[in-house]
């Protein structure tokens, strides 16, 4: 999915993610975390807006690559969870295309590429919000967790 072929964002719905946990990416109880909010689009992709603050700075004015990777990993995980697939990251490859600047709003988007049963391939992009320039891209392989763990996580992290 290229930046030029992104779906309209006004068709999105927020994911019903519980906020009472410490996840670094989405937990509201983690004061040091990113506290991302996720939205699902009808095409099955999931996205989150992110405006990097100085707490994630690497080189002056630029976001640390590890935090960019974290955002991409997080949105890929929620692209799976939105489809009731509970899995963990087995492999993650990131390509950094342009500097991600502190204070410049971005949008992370992820989608399932192929479900191979236990292994699922997922892709993501981090786009500059104002012009949809691709800042970073990622592909990942996720591995489903056992059914009892999946049920536990669904109850723990999703409302309703």
Is residue 69 included in any domain, yes or no? Answer: yes
The pair of three-digit structure tokens given for residue 31, joined into one six-digit string: 């004061």
In which domain, by residue range, is 128 found?
Answer: 8-157
In a domain, 1, yes or no: no
Give the per-residue pLDDT at 25: 79
How many domains are contained in the chain? 1
* Cut 0.75: pTM above it: yes
Q: Per the domain annotation, does 2 fall within a domain?
A: no
For residue 39, being part of any structural domain is answered with yes
For residue 160, the model assigns a pLDDT of 63
- What pLDDT score does 2 carry? 46
One digit per residue, pLDDT tens: the chain, 160 residues? Answer: 444 345 444 567 888 787 777 788 787 888 888 889 999 999 999 999 999 999 999 999 999 999 999 999 999 999 999 999 999 999 999 999 999 999 999 999 999 999 999 999 999 999 999 999 999 999 999 999 999 999 999 888 887 6
Would you state the pLDDT for residue 100? Answer: 98
Whole-angstrom Cα distance, residue 67 to residue 151? Answer: 29
b/e burial code for range 48-74 (CB count within 10 A of at least 16 → b) = bebebeeebeeeeeebeeebbbbbbbb
- ∠ CA(53), CA(109), CA(151), 5° rounding? 100
DSSP 54: G
Note the pLDDT of residue 4: 39
32 lies in a domain?
A: yes
Q: Domain of 101: which CATH number?
A: 3.10.129.10
pLDDT of residue 142: 98
Tell me if 3 is assigned to some domain: no
């Amino acid at each position: 999915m290229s930046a030029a072929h992104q779906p309209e964002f006004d068709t999105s719905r927020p994911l019903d993610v519980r906020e009472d946990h410490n996840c670094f990416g989405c937990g509201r109880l983690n004061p040091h975390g990113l506290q991302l909010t996720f939205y699902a689009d009808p095409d099955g992709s999931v996205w989150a807006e992110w405006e990097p603050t100085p707490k994630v700075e690497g080189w002056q004015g630029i976001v640390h690559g590890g935090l960019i990777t974290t955002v991409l990993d997080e949105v890929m995980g929620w692209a799976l969870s939105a489809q009731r697939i509970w899995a963990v990251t087995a492999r993650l490859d990131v390509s950094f295309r342009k500097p991600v600047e502190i204070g410049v709003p971005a949008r992370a988007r992820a989608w399932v590429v192929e479900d191979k049963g236990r292994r699922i391939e997922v892709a993501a992009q981090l786009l500059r919000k104002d012009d949809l320039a691709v800042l970073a891209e990622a592909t990942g392989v996720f591995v489903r967790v056992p059914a009892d763990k999946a049920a536990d996580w669904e109850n723990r992290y999703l409302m309703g």
